Homo-oligomer: A and B are copies of this chain.
Amino acid sequence: MSEAEPTKGHRPGARERNRAEVMAQIMTAGRRALAEHGADGLSLRAVAREVGMVSSAVYRYVASRDELLTLLIIESYDAVGAVAERAAAGGGSAVQRFVAVAMAVRDWGRAHPHEYALLHGSPVPGYRAPDDTITAGTRVPAALIGLLVEEYAAGRLSVPVASEGPPVSEELSRQCDSVRDFFGSDLPDELVLRGVSAWTHVYGLISFELFGQFRNSFEPADDLLELQFERIAAHLGVQS
C-alpha cells in the first residue's frame, strides 16, 4: 500500500489516491451496513456518518443510494462466484465437486444472508437494469455448468436420451446455443438442460433454507440439502 507504481502512464497522485481510499471506506461501510441491517436498512447518511463525512459529500463518490447498492451487489456476486469457483476447482470426481460448489454457495449464503437475499431475492422487477450485475452473476452457474462442459469434453459423460416431456423446441435449442457459445463448447441440448435444471434446483433448495421456508418441517436442513445435492449431482452423470 506504499509508493504505488505508476502503471497507467500518470502516477496516482495524492489526490486520486485519497479518492480511491475514501471510496474504499464508503464501500466498506456500505458492506457492513448491508450485512447488518439489510438492503432496506442501508442508509447513505449512516454510511456517511461512519466514514466521517456529511451526507452530501458521499454524492461526490456515488451517484445515489441505488448505485451504491448496485456496486455492493456486484461485489457480492463476485465474492460468491469466487467461492464457487474455488470449490469447483477442488479435488474429487465431478459429482463430488458439484456437491462442493452447491455446499459452498449454501455456506456463503448462510454467512451473508442479506447479500444472498439481495442477489437472489427481491428483484424489484425491471430495476436491476445495469448489465454489470447480470454478467457478474454468471460466475456461479458458470462454475456449475463448467463442470459439465469439462466432463463432456473428457468423454466422461454420456448424452442421456431425451427423457420425458415435450421435445426441445427450436427456440429452446437456440437458447442452448447461447450457453454453448458462452463456454465455447458443443455440449448437447440435453446436457445444457440438465445443467440448468441442476442449478435452478440447487438454488431453490438453498433459498428455501435461507428464506425460512423449511420452518416447521425441515429444520435444520443440513441432512436434506446434503442428500438432495448428492442426488442432483448423480442425476447429472446419469448413464441411461
Q: Which residues of A contact B (CB under 8 A)?
A: 38-40, 113-114, 117-118, 120-125, 128, 134, 137, 163-166, 168-169, 171-172, 175, 178-179, 193, 196-197, 200-205, 207-208, 210-213, 215-220, 223-224, 226-228, 230-231, 234-235
For the complex, what is the distance from the CA of A203 to the CA of B207, rounded to whole Å?
Answer: 9
CB pair B123 A120 closer than 8 Å:
no
CB pair A172 B227 closer than 8 Å:
yes
Partner of A200, one of B166, B205, B216, B226: B205
CB pair A217 B163 closer than 8 Å:
no
Minimum C-beta distance from A114 to chain B (A): 7
CB-CB under 8 A for A204 and B200, given A120-B121, A122-B121, A124-B40: yes
CB-CB under 8 A for A212 and B128, given A39-B122, A193-B227, A197-B228: yes
- Copies of this chain, count: 2
Q: Which of A117, A200, A201, A223 has the most CB of B within 10 A?
A: A200
For the complex, what is the distance from the CA of A217 to the CA of B114, rounded to whole Å?
Answer: 26
A interface: dominant SS: helix
For the complex, what is the distance from the CA of A38 to the CA of B220, rounded to whole Å?
Answer: 31
The 4 closest A-B pairs by CB, nearest first: A204-B204, A121-B121, A165-B230, A122-B122
Partner of A207, one of B128, B166, B207: B207
